[in-house]
């Protein structure tokens, strides 16, 4: 069940929101919350970090499917992986939440802010910070830096985790049977996750295999 929440209001008198979505499992509850608050918004899917292409396509198509179900416009931005790898050069062995992640957040939110500036949005936000695996301050710092580059653009640093937000997301994940992602997304996080698994005697991650709600349905 969705939590009983107050209606959201965009900051700085904003009129139109562009929500950067990293994936449907992270943005599902956020999308519903924003929609229930009668905010004019669209979803921006820009995640060139995701590897391999099969994983990227699963995450993207799932996000598109849910957006269409909710009747929310979604912008499918380019998968410019060459640009991402160029920026990640020299950062291949940085830890999660380190400077490689900062670069990745900066890149994605800078593109979000640019699109917002060019297409009549005055507020941007992201679903990246709802995950407990992410450093919320790190995500918000990237969002603010991105917004500061463009006049009239505000970054909305609302904490989507609070007031049952994370629990709501999980319920939607189960109801929609979203794909259950087992690593952050980039080639280096996949490498590190697999190394950790192998060290514990576990199998490597398999792409496109696990989905939310399977445990319940199999009982």
Task: Write out pLDDT tens, residues 71-90.
Answer: 999 999 999 999 999 999 99
Task: Write out pLDDT tens, residues 147-198.
Answer: 999 999 999 999 999 878 888 989 999 999 999 999 999 999 999 999 999 9
Per-residue CA distances from 205 to 32, 41, 168, 184, 210 (Å): 30, 35, 26, 12, 10
Going along the chain from its start, the domains and CATH numbers come out as 14-217 (3.40.50.620)
* Edge-to-edge order in the sheet of strand 123-126: 74-76, 41-45, 17-20, 123-126, 154-155
| 3-state secondary structure (DSSP) of residue 150 | coil
The rounded distance, in Å, linking the Cα atoms of 22 and 71 is 18
| 3-state secondary structure (DSSP) of residue 118 | helix
Model pLDDT, residue 219:
32
For residue 115, what pLDDT band results from cuts at 50, 70 and 90? very high
| 3-state secondary structure (DSSP) of residue 76 | strand
């Amino acid at each position: 069940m969705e939590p009983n929440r107050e209606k959201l209001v965009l900051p700085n008198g904003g009129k139109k929101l562009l929500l950067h979505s990293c994936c449907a499992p992270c943005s599902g509850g956020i999308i519903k919350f924003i929609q229930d608050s009668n905010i004019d918004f669209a979803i921006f899917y820009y995640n060139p970090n995701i590897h391999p292409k099969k994983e990227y396509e699963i995450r993207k198509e799932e996000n598109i499917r849910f957006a269409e179900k909710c009747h929310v416009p979604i912008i499918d931005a380019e998968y410019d992986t060459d640009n991402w790898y160029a920026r990640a050069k020299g950062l291949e062995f940085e830890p999660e939440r380190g400077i490689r992640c900062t670069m990745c957040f900066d890149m994605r939110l800078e593109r979000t802010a640019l699109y917002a500036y060019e297409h009549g949005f005055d507020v941007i936000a992201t679903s990246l910070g709802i995950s407990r695996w992410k450093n919320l301050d790190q995500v918000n710092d990237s969002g603010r830096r991105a917004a500061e580059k463009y006049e009239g653009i505000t970054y909305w640093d609302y904490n989507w985790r609070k007031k049952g937000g994370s629990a709501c997301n999980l319920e939607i994940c189960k109801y929609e049977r979203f794909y259950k992602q087992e690593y952050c997304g980039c080639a280096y996080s996949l490498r590190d996750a697999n190394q950790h698994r192998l060290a514990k005697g576990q199998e490597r991650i398999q792409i496109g295999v696990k989905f939310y709600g399977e445990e319940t349905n199999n009982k």
